[in-house]
Amino acid sequence: MTPEELVSRLAPVRVPADFARFGVQDVLVAVSLGLLAGVLVAMLVRVLTAPRPRKLETARAGIAAMADLPPQERMAGLASLLRALGGTVPAVARDALYDPHAKIDPVPLEDAVLAAARRGRK
């Protein structure tokens, strides 16, 4: 028996009448799936196109957050922020980091943080 003969002897597929109709429930299912797919695509697009903060804005926010800290903690925090940005501590501020009796002036360290953030620009 050839495949063509076998196919010709097969009975037609019988589908119940309820399955053959395209009704209101089917339309609602199609619309719901379309809306769900649209929401998922919108969430994916939002994640992929979300603005990322710039390094300079992050550095300025970090400096502002450390403004109320005690002087030694502020210097340590600024040095940590500078290290995270890939900069090096200026010699003027290095003494204030390691010597508790040295004069503390955070301005050179803040300037170095901002300069490192400008260099990064990402």
**pLDDT for res 37:** 98
Please determine, for residue 18, whether its predicted confidence score (pLDDT) is greater than 80: no
pLDDT tens, 83-114?
988 888 888 788 878 877 888 888 888 999 99
Domain regions of the chain by residue span: 3-48, 55-120
pLDDT tens, 19-46?
778 889 889 999 999 999 999 999 999 9
Please determine, for residue 3, whether its predicted confidence score (pLDDT) is greater than 60: yes
Q: Residue 65 — pLDDT band, cuts 50, 70, 90?
A: very high
Please determine, for residue 122, whether its predicted confidence score (pLDDT) is greater than 70: no
DSSP 5-46: HHHHHSPPP---HHHHS--HHHHHHHHHHHHHHHHHHHHHHH
Angle at 48 (CA atoms; ends 46, 53), nearest 5 degrees: 95
Q: Residue 121 — pLDDT band, cuts 50, 70, 90?
A: low
**pLDDT for res 106:** 86
Question: Average pLDDT of 72-93?
Answer: 87
Please determine, for residue 15, whether its predicted confidence score (pLDDT) is greater than 80: no
